[in-house]
Amino acid sequence: MTADELFSEFLAGHVALCIECRELTRAPIPVRWIQSNSGPGTTLYACPDHAVKLGAGPTPEDELRRP
């Protein structure tokens, strides 16, 4: 097996998995942010087609911080 067979798709730039259609998108839009108890939170992304349907959820900047 060659390297081309193992890595047939080159993903340059910022790509993410859409949480709605489960497809890779090269134009990910953050739609949800999940707080984690033991480390940094997780940002969930959607493709441009589904971002409108899902709407913008809380992002790290939207979360209220305790003083």
CA distance 3 to 64: 47
pLDDT band for position 21 (50/70/90)?
A: very high
Task: Give the number of other Cβ atoms within 10 Å of residue 12's Cβ.
Answer: 6
- Could you read off the pLDDT of 27-56 as tens digits, one per residue? 998 888 888 888 888 889 999 999 888 876
Give the closest residue to 43 by CA, choosing from 54, 59, 27, 28. Answer: 59
Predicted TM-score (pTM) of this structure: 0.64
Are the beta carbons of 2 and 15 closer than 8 angstroms? no
